Amino acid sequence: MESLLRTIINEVLTGKNQEQIFNTIAAEVGKIFDARGIILANSELDQFLCGQIFEKNQILIFNNIDELELPQSVKEICNKTGVKSTVAVPFIYKNTPIALLFLINKENFRQLSQSDINLLNPIVQQIEIGLNVFQLAGQFSKLSSIERTIREILFEARSQEDHDQVFNYLLNKIAILFNVERAIHLHYEGEKRNLHVRNEVLINKNLKSIMNQPFLSARHTKELEPKTFNEAISINNVDIEIKDTKLKEYLKSKNIESFMLYPKAEKMPNEEQEKILAITMLCSTYPRIWTSQEIDSFALIVDTTSVVYFEIIERKEKEQTKKTFLATLTHDLRSPLNAEQKALEVILSKKLGTSLEEFSKYLEEIYKTNKELLRIVNNILSVYHYEEGKFELKLREVNIAELIETSVNSMISLAEEQGSEINTSIEPGLLPVIADQDEIFRVINNLICNAIKHNDKGTIINISVKRINNELEVSVSDNGKGIPEKEKAEIFERYPTKKREIGTGLGLYLSKKIIKAHNGRIWFESEVGKGTTFYFTLPNFPIINSNDGLAKTQL
């Protein structure tokens, strides 16, 4: 007995894998009771054996195998071996099922005596302890492997250039780590939010690829969308746990019998809350019990990769900002500099007389050109400072009515050139608003200038100011061309091609930055052929006193 236990425990502690350990236990215990030992430790435990045997937590004797409602896999074993009777021995450690030993005979099994049970019980107890130690060692090894994988992802993913490289690398890593045949990355597409397979790694090359294919419509995939942004979903058995018939049929047609998935969420432009944009999914070709450790580790690895991916995107955006800054500066300065150069060439050619009147026309052109150059440079520099979070708002009490009047007066000559008409409607008795006067003036000027420049001659422009609840709302509307539907999404973007047909394309982008820095909102309504209205609001927040009477807020 003592020698047997030493043999079993030594094998458990030194075994290379679970299958080898179970084979040794089954063989050694089977010798004692003149039976064949078979150990099960896979998905059948969850589906049948836990409910039928583990709950009783005791050795069960079945003198007639027909007394058991066995799962198909066990029935096949019994039929092949001609089993007539069996003893079921559960291995449980601290209420956690580990495995089940069947001692089987091809003849009616003799009734175990009390001495047989007394012999078997300590063997079972020692095996349970040994198996638990083996599992703990396996968990430690798994944790080490997961930690190593996360370090590799942090190092390698940062060197990748785009989305597909990052997530193909991730899928390959986790498919191997979690021993699955297929790993996929799905994106939500369109307003209907249908899932589409963007990336896929197949470990089992016999499986048919679903790369770049739709993953059913949204009404059939609701079970795949987590209720919260950081929730992993695990399905041990598609047959049992998936309710939607179409989804179940689709998964099984792709040899997906169990799976684990985790979402990637991000706050999108013009949206207040995060939205789930993509799902990473591990797919198994057989029913499988996903442990809590596997689920947590999977979520951690996907989160780590998502963080790295967003870092890459942010880095590329900053690089693009710098490139665009230089390209825009070169492009937008060329035309006014050329105009100024030609004016200077005329003056220096000495073809003009000596009277001031002959020079005044060209000097005025140089003045206008320099003024435009200064505006362009200031806009570009302001955008750069806002994006880098280095701009300081100089907050003070601002009379919005006076600010609008000043802006309208500065635009009168431009409006007259275009035959446009500017009207104002300002609610009486408005209290001063706390804002950076120069920045808000820049926004108002930009909206009025756009209404004049981007429309045909004779456009009527109406400016309205009113207080709504605790906000001041300013609107600039026109009865001009309107904005086509396909261009609306780009209106507040930096340097869109369509907007750059006139000016730098920075005005509305910068206006949005300014209003957001004031904790306000900016938006528009437009209909082709009827006109456009831009709105922005400014909240009435308290001023912060300072020595110079200004409140400075660094973004």
What integer pLDDT is reported at residue 348 of this predicted model?
73
Residue 154 identity: L
Each residue's pLDDT tens digit, 175-195? 988 889 999 999 888 778 888
pLDDT in tens, 409-444: 988 988 998 899 999 999 998 888 999 999 999 999
How would you classify residue 198: left for phi > 0, otherwise alpha for psi between -120 and 50, otherwise beta? alpha
What per-residue confidence (pLDDT) applies to 112?
63
- pLDDT per residue as tens digits for the range 508-520: 988 999 999 999 9
Least confident interval from 307-311, 436-440, 541-545: 541-545
**More confident call, 14 vs 22:** 22
pTM of the predicted structure, to 2 decimals: 0.47
Q: What's the whole-number mean pLDDT along residues 298-325?
A: 77
134: tokens are 């083996």
**Which DSSP string do the residues of 1-32 spell out, in sequence order?**
-HHHHHHHHHHHHH-SSHHHHHHHHHHHHHHH
Query: Chain-wide mean pLDDT for the chain?
Result: 77
The structural domains of the chain, ordered by start, are: 2-140 (3.30.450.40), 158-290 (3.30.450.40), 316-380 (1.10.287.130), 392-554 (3.30.565.10)
CA 437 centroid distance within chain = 38
What is d(CA 371, CA 351) in angstroms, rounded to the nearest whole number? Answer: 26
Q: Residue 56 — very low, low, confident or very high, per pLDDT cuts 50/70/90? A: low
